[in-house]
Amino acid sequence: MPTSYQVLVTSYRLLVTSYRLLVTRYKVLRNSSLVTVLVLCVGCSSTSPLPNTDIYIADFDQSTMKVSNVRNITQRTGYDNQPAFTLDGKGVYYVSDSTGVTDIFRYDLASGAIRQVTETNEQEFSPTPMADGKSLSIVRVGKPLADGDEYTESQQVWRYDLGGRPIAPILATRRVGYHCWIDEGLIALFIVGDEEKGRPHKLIAADLASRQTIELATNIGRTLRVTSDGRLAFVDKSDSTRWKIATISQGEETATPLIALPKGSEDFCLLPDGKIVSISGNSLVMWKNGAIPAFMPFHTFPDLNGTIARISTNADATRIVFVVTSY
């Protein structure tokens, strides 16, 4: 039997462990509770809980628009979101709160293995492979810059190496919610607005060489894509009853509308053959300029228990990834 001294030592160690867990939990809550909602659920109340989300991958044939071999790659209760294929299409980066704070993870398509990429005191979102093949651009959220500041004031795009080590901010610009590379030296940024102050979300382009920025549009949605001819495609919400996809380039004063999105959808992706894929309810829909007048469904998921969002494909459109949200 253990002696009284041994019992006392064991009790002390348990007490120390419990204390450390409480301190860790406090730091996580202090640093992350508001940020997650502001960055990933722009427009939600700051008191709203994060939705329960899973990431699904499927095989895809853009010539026939056939979707097959659909599988859930996260399969857990919690927040797994913002998927982005690796440059070689062999993996998917995504955001997860499985560690108690939002970090970046990588799913390997061949083995099914999941690897944690980032492990910092800050939160990371919107993982995007960079053209150099050695880096990720990530929206990093630190502590408020001053008492009374919103967490959004600290949101910047950072460069990370593929091992998850933060290198440096790519730009000084703050309040960044989402981003997209137009080319290696030009980046598009979704700047989080302030509804209480009457400031809408806006779209800006930033030149890394000159550090100059230019505002391209306001009242935008979260999805940013680049067309095959180098134009920036985004969701125009200036008409609250009819969101639409529009394109713009630097030097243009107004955007060119392309097509109205299905009601309530602000997610779309561009296929190499010119088609655009979006979402309507539990269906995937497509449109091609000059071929059909409006989005039409091509695949329905009758057994998914939730809503579909955040759709994307790999570079050659042989696989498709999306998020299913359940509340």
Q: Which residue has the tokens 């505002």?
A: 215
Identify the pLDDT of residue 34. 35
Identify the pLDDT of residue 7. 36
Domains of the chain: 4-326 (2.120.10.30)
- Which residues in the chain land under pLDDT 50? 1-41, 43-47
Order of strands across the sheet that contains 123-129? 123-129, 135-141, 155-161, 166-169
Identify the pLDDT of residue 242. 94
Q: Which residues contact 57 (CB under 8 A, 6 or more apart)?
A: 70, 71, 73, 92, 109, 319, 320, 321
Identify the pLDDT of residue 46. 40
Check: CB of residue 220 under 8 Å from CB of residue 203: yes
Identify the pLDDT of residue 250. 84
Q: SS3 for the chain, per residue?
A: CCCHHHHHHHHHHHHHHHHHHHHHHHHHHHHHHHHHHHHHCCCCCCCCCCCEEEEEEEEEECCCCEEEEEEECCCCCCCEEEEEECCCCCEEEEEECCCCCCEEEEEECCCCCEEECCCCCCEEEEEEECCCCCEEEEEEECCCCCCCCCHHHHEEEEEEECCCCEEEECCCCCCEEEEEEEECCEEEEEECCEHHHCECCEEEEEECCCCCEEEEEECEEEEEEECCCCCEEEEECCCCCCCEEEEECCCCCCCEEEEECCCCCCCEEECCCCCEEEEECCEEEEECCCCCCCCEEEEECCCCCCEEEEEEECCCCCEEEEEEEEC
